[in-house]
Amino acid sequence: MVDWNQIRDDFPALKRKINGRPIVYLDSACMSLKPQQVIDAMNEYYLRFPACGGRSIHTLGKEVSAAYAEARRKMASFINATREDECIWTRNATEALNIVARSFPLPQGSKIVTTSLEHHSGSLPFVERARRDGLGIEIVPARSDGTFDIERWKEAIDSKTKIVSVVHSSNVTGTVAPLREIVEIAHDRGAIVVSDDAQYAPHHPLDVQALDVDFSALSVHKMCGPSGMGLLYGKIEHLKSMDMFLTGGDTVADVRYENGRIIPEYLPPPEKFEAGLQNYAGAIGAGAAADYLLSIGMHEIERHERRLLARALKSMKEMDHVHILGSTDVDVRTGLVTFGVDTVGSAHDVATFLNDEFAVMVRSGAHCAHPFHYQEGIPPTVGTARASFYLYNNQHDVDVFLEGLQSLVEASR
């Protein structure tokens, strides 16, 4: 039995107050708070062995190299990768998705398939690849409730399709895509699948082997880890076939100089994708975050968030002038709710009121998902507000949020 109050004690930021009120942090879909365990792991690097990994053979160099390698092992275990060298450190999921979009080999005449529900990072790198190389691209529209018609996928993914990029869990509607079915359709037709797991991985068990995805992109800052850290998972056969996104130090086994020519010999994955000095503290913090989440249990976290989401949705559906984006079925979505208030000019006004009057922190804007907002007739300048729940939230947080939202509705009539 998880003691959720004890979990809250692990997060120093929750001890803060705004205008005399304890903060209610409901913006974890953007950036999660960090537990003391992650902070301590990163501080250990800076205090005990703040040196270069993989280059220096002295004691501090060996210690950071070992900690860096162990962090990779932890992340590989977190997503159940087949092997550690299928996991590449990146700055974030955006960089991970760009690596695939720019570097995966595609023949002329290929087609890319993505959706109207993607975060910009899951669509724009592939839009630009199609534009650069004169490739075809097709958009599978999401329904208004954020779900997909699997028949539309069967129509879109044809014999010319070589890449399918799909958000596993939407950062707007919270809905979870039918990824197993999409992967099966794509593989049957000779295409690979790139899964944007930035919103899925922090809240649900993620098993890349069971899903059989070809690539998966994660942002560590959304899963209790440090900012500036992400992960790209790729099946090893794909990683070996791809050119590097960046080249330079730490990517080479040797660089010969012969007859006036420089001839590089590159290392295998993951090193060939990790050019230059790495964020060792960030990687160590990522490993600590994976340890932390697994120690609680991803199924436990999933169930806890759904209880909080159900409590929020029940009341919000009864509020005048509040409209919810996406399905209200908690079994097909992760723990966030995106909404608008008809009597308030913009989502930023909603977020400002909740912050200033109730110390409730939500996201406002178009959430880097403009196409879906346009699809639903919501100009990005108006946007929507989003409350996202995580393992450190409790029923009191939900109730304060609902109290603030109801107060805003009444004040804006």
Distances (CA, A) of 39 to 70, 219, 279, 284, 291: 17, 17, 15, 10, 13
Distances (CA, A) of 266 to 6, 26, 30, 84, 208: 48, 44, 36, 18, 27
The distance from CA 42 to its chain's CA centroid, rounded to whole angstroms, is 21
| Other CB atoms within 10 Å distance of the CB of residue 177 | 25
Sign of the dihedral defined by the CA atoms of residues 229, 235, 238, 239, in that order: positive
Q: Enter the DSSP assignment of 23.
A: P
Does the annotation count 87 as an active-site position? no
Instruction: Read off the tokens for 390.
Output: 């995580």
Question: Rounded to an integer, what distance in angstroms lies between the CA atom of residue 173 and that of residue 339?
Answer: 9
Q: Which of 30, 52, 224, 368 is catalytic?
A: 368
The residue with tokens 């595609």 is 106
Alpha helices, H only, 104-256: 120-133, 150-156, 179-188, 208-211, 236-241
Residue type, position 389, single letter: F
Nearest to 115 by CA among 327, 325, 365, 369: 369
SS (H, E, C) 315-329: HHCCCCCEEEECCCC
Nearest to 202 by CA among 274, 305, 279: 305
Question: Rounded to an integer, what distance in angstroms lies between the CA atom of residue 244 and that of residue 372?
Answer: 32
Nearest to 29 by CA among 386, 308, 371, 392: 386
End-to-end distance of the chain based on CA atoms, in angstroms? 44
Instruction: Read off the tokens for 36.
Output: 């003391």
Distances (CA, A) of 120 to 117, 140, 165, 289, 387: 9, 15, 11, 26, 20
Give me the active site residues, please: 368
